[in-house]
Amino acid sequence: MAFNLLGDIVANDGESWADSDVKPAMVIGWLAKQDGDVEININSNGGDVSAGLAIANAIRAYDKGKVICNVLGIAASMASVVACAGDELRMGEGTFLMVHNPFTVTMGTADDLRKDAETLDKMRDAILGFYQSKSSKTADEIKAAMDAETWMTRDEARAFGFAVSDYAGEFKAAAAFTRRSFDAAPEAARAFLDFHAEKPAEPKDEKPADNWEARFKGLSQKFSAAQSAHSDALAAKDVEIKNLKGKIDALETENDNLKSQLEHSAKDLAAAKDHASELAVKLKESDDALLESKKDLAQTRDSLKAAEDKAAHLESTRDMLTAGVLTPPSVDNSYAAKMKAAKTAEEREALRAAKKAGKIK
């Protein structure tokens, strides 16, 4: 028995645009009814990451027999993950296996974008596990191939290290309806995608507006345009974030400089306070010295006043003596007067000797 996965992988009916779209419930329900070895034929450009992982894990969980995944045309993106989930991977002549990183369309704050980026990294790691189960390459080598959106023919897949068997069944390449495009798709792979398909001829009895393929192609183009516009918006946001980061770095640098200046100012202020304290002590000492000087000056003034008064008195006495108003007192040259006037013991001893000699009466 075989299950045909020949359209986009979608999560639910709300995301389904075409009858060929495949939901996890379809594969899981089909596997539940099987018994023994089964095959899954794949010609899909991928689709929803979560839905693709659900299908891949359901294939891995199948324990009633072997699961053989046949790549009939293209197993791109999440379809390549499904192809690697089986016990055996087969690729037909001229078929392609494409690996790349998951992507999303998102909007919101910088925190929202960072959270979505972290989620995409986790999804990439989950996808990487399925590729590693079928490849001999290291995780870093496979990541590099995913980063580059790598398209591989059957021979190239083998050369890359994928365990690939030949699929000999018949399959005619035909353009497949797609809602996404791949920038790195080789020219040979475009036969399976709707890159350059000409507009199909409209039935004579059908109005152009009823051509569902044309309508969906128009929606695909609008989606691609919206995706491109969103990518441009993300790039602009990235530039804005980088500019804001630059401003934040500049503000942090300025803040550090201000902190350094504040620390220097605090040190200068402390030194100024210490200097002011020293000056206050010196000022107190100067005030005390000035007060003592004022006291000395007052005493000097008093002494000078007394001397001036005494000089005035002597001058007045001199004038009166000169005028004859006063008579100078007689000089007492007696022994008793001289002994009384003597100031030292030597003077008194000399006076005694002079009296004994009869020189003084």
Q: What is the pLDDT of residues 63-93, one digit of tens each?
A: 999 999 999 999 999 999 999 999 999 999 9
Least confident of 18-22, 33-37, 61-65, 327-331: 327-331
Place of tokens 């016990």: 87
- Say how far apart CA 214 and CA 197 lie, in whole Å: 11
The active-site residue out of 100, 133, 196, 316 is 100
Please say whether the structural domain 2-198 has been given the CATH code 3.90.226.10.
yes
Please tell me whether residue 16 adopts helix, strand or coil conformation.
coil
> How do the domains of the chain map onto residue ranges?
2-198, 227-297
Asked whether residue 305 carries a pLDDT value surpassing 50, the answer given is yes
pLDDT per position as a tens digit, 279-304: 999 988 888 888 888 988 888 888 88
Say which DSSP state 357 is in.
Answer: T
Cα dihedral across residues 236, 237, 241, 242: positive or negative: negative
Q: What average pLDDT does range 249-259 have in this prediction?
A: 89
H/E run at residue 97: strand 96-99
Asked whether residue 191 carries a pLDDT value surpassing 70, the answer given is no
Identity at 101, one-letter amino acid code: N
Question: Is this model's pTM higher than 0.85 or not?
Answer: no
> In this structure, are residues 77 and 41 in contact, taking their beta carbons and an 8 Å threshold?
no
275 part of the active site: no
> In this structure, are residues 58 and 24 in contact, taking their beta carbons and an 8 Å threshold?
yes
118: confidence class by pLDDT, cuts 50, 70, 90: confident
CB burial of residue 83 (10 Å; 0-12, 13-18, 19+): buried
Query: Pairing state of beta strands 88-92 and 67-76?
Result: parallel
100 part of the active site: yes
The active-site residue out of 44, 77, 80, 135 is 77
- Say how far apart CA 203 and CA 42 lie, in whole Å: 31
Instruction: Give Cα separations from 52 to 11, 23, 25, 334 (angstroms).
Output: 8, 9, 11, 151
